[in-house]
Structure 1
Amino acid sequence: MLEIFSEFYNSVLVDFTDSKKRVYWGYLLAALVIAAVWLVQTKRVSVGKAISVIFSAKVWWSQSAKADYLIFLINKFSFLFIAPLLLTHITVSQWLFFKCYEWWGYQSVGNDWPLWTITALFTFSYFILNDFSRFFVHKLLHEVPFLWEFHKVHHSARVLTPITVFRTHPVEGILFSFRSIFVQGVLIAVFKFLFGDRVDIYMFYGVVVTTFLFNVFGANLRHSQIAIGYWKGVERWLISPAQHQIHHSTLPKHFDKNYGVILAVWDRWTGTLVHSERDQELEFGISRKVEANEQNVLYLYFQPFKSLFTRLMQISKPKVANDN
């Protein structure tokens, strides 16, 4: 039992101390600095006022934020038992590599390619496939009715803090785990098949750099009350924090918009892109109507299963013939 709690403690701690994690303390500090500078420069407030806005008790100690914190801890504990049951990207990559070899035989190419070229190609391929797959799965979570029942947990947040990124139902967490495993497994298998032994751990350095840049330049502000928008021309290509906040808006015109994580092109090409507005002020949540149990953690965990069961019963219910 002590071993389990020690593992749980370490899994929580690593999110704030590992630079590969979204809420690493350094990235949180960078977000704080960016938010403060933005408020001082655009809202013309003092540094003290900017800090008070950023650390507003109405946000950080709201019922919604407290639910975020509790869900974060519960998910961390539950995934200690779920994670060992999931496939790993190594398993996927090995299976796919041998399948490629079985289908096409030995196909090693690029033996005379500079190593930096292969690394750059791997980095670019990972960035595009990873970003598109996150967009695609996110879109499915909204547009497939039974998946939306689980994704509602995330959108039930009434305020946004960096910890809101962890406000997810375990079913959604498992789905995104499979997404990550698929992306890494496929890319490793394909590059290993094409470039053989020239593919090694160094290929991931470029991936680490892109992740670092995304996080250090304010990724944590996406889930915040600080609506930092970009110029419209930039928002055609990159999703700004303000655009993601639009995604959480209770306004019907904002529903099912801005699914993207980094690139805005997927939303632009599928007609779901909405640009931020100057001085936008939004309410967050599933709807403007406040539900009695929307911050009750037990309700958030079990209601999706109840809703799913109700949907299945309605589908399976035989239709009554119309005598007329």
Structure 2
Amino acid sequence: MSELLNTLYASTFGTDKRLFILHLATAAALGILVLRARQHSWRQACSQVLSTRTWRTPSARADYQIILLNLLIFIPLTPWLPDAIALAQWGLTQVNNWFERPMLFVETPWVIPFAFTLCLFVLDDFARYWLHRLMHRLPALWYFHAVHHSARTLTPLTVLRAHPVEVLLFSMRSVVVNACCLAVFFYFFPGQISLITLLGANVFNFGFNLLGSNLRHSHIYWRYWSWLEGWLISPAQHQIHHSARPRHYDKNFGAMLAIWDRLFGTLYRSDEQPPKRLGTHWRRQPGEQSLLQLYVGPFRQLARRWTGHPRQSKRSPSPQD
């Protein structure tokens, strides 16, 4: 039981996770400062940020159930999933069979670790962008990703609100990205690479999470300066990504960096006012927060599509658009 609880904690609240207690605390502090800057009193700001109202909604309760059920599903499956190091070793073996390995050496000791850490961060964010975008553009993937977008209220735990199929796809993406980075750097710089970490997490990921990433899934609408929203995805931009209004559909796919959205035409800088409603439909649907609908519904939609009876793959329009 102790080992199980340790696994649950590490996979959800570990130092390399967004829900690490320090990241939650800094997000709350930043949220209070944001509201204070909008002329709220300290008491009003603290009361609004720490309000438990959004944590008691049917949508939030569905978040908790999905998180627990996914943990129960993946804990026994994890040992059977591919490992990034093993995949990188296999790739190195294949390349070594065909090419002579160049032995490059950089005298400055911090250059290769910094380059490796930065490349891993950028490539991982780039891969997240494209997988996220595909999950919106391909109906067969959207059925599963819509589980995340069906959230009507956002809390930091909503980041883990995902169908097991989506969890598996993003896990495999992470394995492939890590394996590619490891293989390339081991090939050119054997014995010289290491990851620059802070409390065991990639220093760039840790820094981003430390600076309020949990406000992305929250009721605090925090905008960046317009120029900065062309480089980093603000909490407000991600909340717009969850909006039920059609003009906000398929925008701001980036996880941390906004440069991919800017390069590929999906960037949407935040509006003055927050989205009026979140979710996949403007009007609430019967049973939209039930576990049966959230877990089985995507398979039903996929089956109907394969049998020639596709359902609407995109979200329904709002009365305003």
**Fold conserved (TM > 0.5)?**
yes
Bigger shift: 51-60 or 27-36?
Answer: 51-60
Which structure 2 residue ranges, 5 or more long, are not aligned? 311-321
Amino acid at match of 1:203: L
On the 8 A contact 1:12/1:73 being kept in 2, the answer is: no
Describe the superposition over 1:196-223 as per-residue Cα deviations: whole angstroms up to 9, x where unpaired. 1222xx3343862111101110010110
User: Which residue in the other structure is 1:92 paired with?
Assistant: 87
Describe the superposition over 1:81-107 as per-residue Cα deviations: whole angstroms up to 9, x where unpaired. 221221000111001111121221222
Distance between the aligned counterparts of 2:283 and 2:187, measured in 1? 54
Describe the superposition over 1:52-97 as per-residue Cα deviations: whole angstroms up to 9, x where unpaired. 2223343110000010011111111111122122100011100111
Specify which of 215, 218, 226 is matched with residue 212 of structure 2. 218
The CA RMSD measured in Å over matched residues stands at 1.7
User: Which residue in the other structure is 2:103 paired with?
Assistant: 108
Distance between the aligned counterparts of 1:289 and 1:188, measured in 2? 47
What is the 5 A alignment of 1:6-21? 6-15=2-11, 17-21=13-17
**Secondary structure of 2:190's partner?**
helix
What is the 5 A alignment of 1:60-79? 60-79=55-74
User: Which residue in the other structure is 1:146 paired with?
Assistant: 140
What is the 5 A alignment of 1:1-324? 3=1, 6-15=2-11, 17-42=13-38, 44-109=39-104, 111-199=105-193, 202-205=194-197, 208-314=202-308
Describe the superposition over 1:227-278 as per-residue Cα deviations: whole angstroms up to 9, x where unpaired. 1010111111111000000000000000010000111111111111100122
Distance between the aligned counterparts of 1:186 and 1:38, measured in 2? 39
Amino acid at match of 1:76: L
**Secondary structure of 2:307's partner?**
helix
Bigger shift: 272-281 or 87-96?
Answer: 272-281
Distance between the aligned counterparts of 1:115 and 1:98, measured in 2? 26
What is the aligned-residue identity percentage?
Answer: 40
Q: 1:16 to 1:140 in 2, by over 3 A?
A: closer
Distance between the aligned counterparts of 1:23 and 1:149, measured in 2? 26
Distance between the aligned counterparts of 2:279 and 2:71, measured in 1? 24
On the 8 A contact 1:248/1:284 being kept in 2, the answer is: yes
How far has the Cα of 1:18 moved from its partner?
A: 2.4
Amino acid at match of 1:226: I
Distance between the aligned counterparts of 2:106 and 2:55, measured in 1? 55
Describe the superposition over 1:128-172 as per-residue Cα deviations: whole angstroms up to 9, x where unpaired. 101100101100111111000000100000000000000000000
Distance between the aligned counterparts of 2:137 and 2:226, measured in 1? 27
Bigger shift: 279-288 or 80-89?
Answer: 279-288
How far has the Cα of 1:175 moved from its partner?
A: 0.3
How far has the Cα of 1:312 moved from its partner?
A: 0.9
Amino acid at match of 1:296: S
TM-score in terms of structure 2 length: 0.92
User: Which residue in the other structure is 2:318 paired with?
Assistant: none
Distance between the aligned counterparts of 1:151 and 1:25, measured in 2? 27
How far has the Cα of 1:112 moved from its partner?
A: 3.8
Higher-Rg structure is: 1
How far has the Cα of 1:9 moved from its partner?
A: 2.6
On the 8 A contact 2:84/2:178 being kept in 1, the answer is: yes
On the 8 A contact 2:155/2:217 being kept in 1, the answer is: yes
Distance between the aligned counterparts of 2:129 and 2:258, measured in 1? 10
On the 8 A contact 1:141/1:148 being kept in 2, the answer is: yes
